[in-house]
Structure 1
Amino acid sequence: MPKFPSGHATPASVVDALKAVAGHPSKARASFAGGRCVRGTYAPSDQAKEITRSRSFTKPSRVLARFSVSGGNPGIADTDKHVLRGFWFRLGGDGDRSDILTQNAPVHFARTLDQMLAFLKARAPGPNGKPDMMKVRAFSAANPETLHQANYTTAHLLPPSFAGTTYWGVHAFPATNAKGETRFIKFKVVPVGADVPPAADKAKARPADLLHGDFEDQIAAGDMRFSVMALLDRPGDPVMDVTIRWTDEDRREAVRLGTIVITGIEADATCDPSVFNPANLADGIGYPPDEIFAARAAYVISPGEPPLSGNELRFVF
């Protein structure tokens, strides 16, 4: 297991802060609350084994996945460019399972859990229901790296569908192949087909809920296909700081590990009780060394949420 970071913040305190920012919605995830559970298939490429010996990436398997939007409000419009789109996917079977989280921005908004908590507290709504913008600006000025994610999403118009979105893994995973060679990789999930941002006027005309609408039609038409890519590290790449990108990340060498095809809709309960756990990584994919990943993998039950059976845990951020 990854080492949990030391500091004042805990996953539980971050969950409380996430819920406060969202207005304390009842019976909702602390983050990425709105989503759709789907199923599909994964087919590995011939190159996958050169990067990792992980059977979850080198063998065909069924896929359980969830498209979602960030924040604790499940009713937020998923066409808002300030709201992240998420894509969780689970590959492999019993004993060889890997759960991977990706989003439509290549960086996280905080480097440490303490910084994440401070970021959220600065944005907590006051008595008038709105955050104190003087506090927000003061925090941003003192922590400029926390603006990298928002700057990226502001500069990139959203594609008109979840199927046309490129998703990034912000963490650097140590990947080990059958020869015992290890290097860091970042996951990038690329739609099969053009990922062209819409024109501004078309963006305004899009429906407010892309997770419904023609979602099923896109799946039925076979339009939800993604290449799972591994971006390969270079000497000196930062692997501890998830708020910054690797140099020339958009154009650097990448290997296609395989292809995910989404084939159907699953009931929300299929994804909700047995929540994706980033600590589930099959041999050949190791734990990223950064603090945010360690905190995500800690997995606590969000305060106020219904209890889960057995040893099930609930995704918090």
Structure 2
Amino acid sequence: MFDSKEFLQSEEWFSFQEAVGKKASLISLEQMLARGVIEKVSLVGNYLYIPKGPIFSLEEASDESVQKQLQKIIKEAQEKKVKWIRIEPENENTLHSLQKNFSGKVVKAPRDIQPRELFVIDITKTKEDILADMKPKTRYNIRLAEKRGVKIFTTREEKYKQAFYDLVEKTADRKEINPHSKTYYENFFAIFPETLCQLFVAEYEGIILAANICIFFRGRAIYLHGGSSDISRDVMAPYLLQWKQIEYAKDHGCTEYDFGGVHVVSSSEGTNDWGGITRFKTGFSPRTNPRLFPGTYDMILDPMMYSFYKTLRLLRTFFHR
């Protein structure tokens, strides 16, 4: 058996998933990691979602090895009566290998779950060099926030956790998206120790302007969730907040800082609705290219039910226009 640096394939992540009521499937084989959760679709049944996986231990696994590992995954999936397995291959080679060695169809899922472009920067350089590599405007905004007296700190105090929940909700309202529940985040803080998970807060003149959750896992810092206020936006608190998170990560032995999803490549394809957040993140290292992933795919175990599922999605889309 082997393990991975991918947080969404970690035992810690699936302990959290079980705590929030998900049924986990912890498949860790000799040459493949395929931990997942059972998701339910009304009128259709269940599917197995393997986030950021499966992951092969070898860069180029043999067809025989892939087939053997796949058989074990499919056997467990069928025992759980799932209709398809939703996967997120780490690269095109993994995707092609799965398509080649799976006896059924592997098709593009109706939508991607995890971002297809991740913006991950190298933080092994000196802090001075990291700052020097930023866009001048990003560097200016960091210094402006410092000059204006924005304070950044980590905390687990209840009042700051409540402020974080409130900011997440306000941010979701502005962006017209559905946020995780307060209970979800309460479980986050209850389950993950401070060595793994930190809440960073940006405060200005006694007002909480922004707050982010960062994960620190096997040498990588991950900016996972955050929220910001529309008050005092001129003091540029989110810029200083990210910079202090990078500094903290570097000081605690991390070599990479993961900003999460961006739309750099997709913007050139005319599908960019992430313009603002992409410009914000890439400003911290404009010469860094995003890491690209194939996206989300479905390995179909029950073709009839999968076809029914696709039809239901089309009908729901039509009637919710």
- TM-score (normalizing by structure 1): 0.22
> Which structure has the bigger radius of gyration?
2
Larger helix fraction of residues: 2
